[in-house]
Structure 1
């Protein structure tokens, strides 16, 4: 552990078993936080925990209020909770809106939107009791602009943006800052999932080129690019920043 700006503070990260959640958890731990990891993938949690010092792992689902109650209990047991990153999410089917099945739509909103709400509902009371803190929710660049290939995902993440901004106003006087990050295409298992469903090698290459051309910096993002933004927003360096939806997107929304 490197120590640093989060020394001695308690942090919760949902979706910590892989991707951006894993990288965020590791970043928090390296900068001194005591991290509580939450995900439904137990083996992924254990793999993340190996890089997070004395991390605590809680297996559960963000769509399940009882799981989140266990998470809150575990976090409260180790000290005042002042840091939260809600990275759990799925990208869902890459279909036109009219081709989506009702179950596909519901799953996206259950995990991405309702899951974020349930997490905040379970853990905000702990942060109020601690006298304040920082929250970063995970939205998407697709939640700030239309997405022809991911319309339901875009809608679910747009809801997270507005939920975060609204809560930032609600809890500003409580000393709780709430911001969200809006990544572009980041090299994670979620992006691989998007490319893997395209079928032939030619179709995959075309999809990758389509996504890449949306990013003026000429590359896909790395998890570390997003983690750097998350850690900044959680830190005291961002003490006068709340209600922000920060694109980390290689210039896509410029």
Structure 2
């Protein structure tokens, strides 16, 4: 990381209260950006805010158009916005697809797909006003290949991949780049949620072993490793890169 890569830039980060969103926000702040943090978790948001000097926090839900409008209004007050990372997401239920309740399906797609769309709808006009910028959405390795354990989650993240690629073509002429990261199993609260839902301690250990075995590097990733890839895609170092779905997955898709 370089201390000055984002000096003078304003960045919006959703899902900033924990995990990949917090790591991304901290990385942007360390490299000079002024960061606008967005999340519905007030306690976690406050922790991230303390770790990002000069940052501003807006509490809200990515699935709410009204909350997204408040986010856009605050972003406009902060100055020209040229960077966006949409990390808010959920892994959802781990039950088989044929047993998944309709409301659980709807909640998963509301957060992962609708939430990403609403954020893009709210913030992309600000990047256009600024004369260009860069966006990184958060998909998953499970959005690039089938996931027997998480078929609904896989479907939602595949939707994020194709939305990002489509918009990369739409906005290329406006000097706005859109890419997405596709993490494997990363040591975050979301991964812990998946393991905690196991029906017994033995089932949890088996699930952990199965998830770890998918990665040829033999371990789970760290949030900072994903954030480093996000910052690269947001930076001018990736000035000729758009429409990419970048696996950060320990070799899972190799």
If the length of structure 1 is used for normalisation, what is the TM-score?
0.99
1:64-105 residue CA offsets vs partner (Å, 9 max, x unmatched): 011011101111101100000000000000011111010000
- Paired position in structure 2 for 1:160: 160
- Paired position in structure 1 for 2:65: 65
Q: Tell me the matched-pair count.
A: 253
SS of match in other structure, 2:83:
strand
Q: Does the alignment pair 1:75 with 2:79?
A: no
Distance in 1 between residues matched to 2:108 and 2:245, nearest whole Å: 20
Q: Which runs of 5+ in 2 are unaligned?
A: none
Q: Which aligned runs of 4 or more in structure 1 are off by greater than 4 angstroms?
A: none
- Paired position in structure 1 for 2:133: 133
- Paired position in structure 2 for 1:16: 16
Q: Which runs of 5+ in 1 are unaligned?
A: none
Shift, 1:3, TM fit: 3.2
Distance in 2 between residues matched to 1:224 and 1:57, nearest whole Å: 21
- Paired position in structure 2 for 1:5: 5
Distance in 2 between residues matched to 1:142 and 1:224, nearest whole Å: 20
Distance in 1 between residues matched to 2:149 and 2:104, nearest whole Å: 14
- Paired position in structure 2 for 1:27: 27
If the length of structure 2 is used for normalisation, what is the TM-score?
0.99
1:81-130 residue CA offsets vs partner (Å, 9 max, x unmatched): 00000000000000111110100000000000000000000000000000
Distance in 2 between residues matched to 1:31 and 1:183, nearest whole Å: 22
* Mapping 1:53-132, distance limit 5 Å: 53-132=53-132
1:138-166 residue CA offsets vs partner (Å, 9 max, x unmatched): 00000000011111000000000000000
Distance in 2 between residues matched to 1:78 and 1:10, nearest whole Å: 7
Q: Does the alignment pair 1:208 with 2:231?
A: no
- Paired position in structure 1 for 2:223: 223
SS of match in other structure, 2:135:
strand
- Paired position in structure 2 for 1:144: 144
Shift, 1:22, TM fit: 0.5
SS of match in other structure, 2:164:
helix
Distance in 2 between residues matched to 1:224 and 1:124, nearest whole Å: 26
Distance in 1 between residues matched to 2:4 and 2:227, nearest whole Å: 15
Shift, 1:134, TM fit: 0.4
Shift, 1:4, TM fit: 1.4
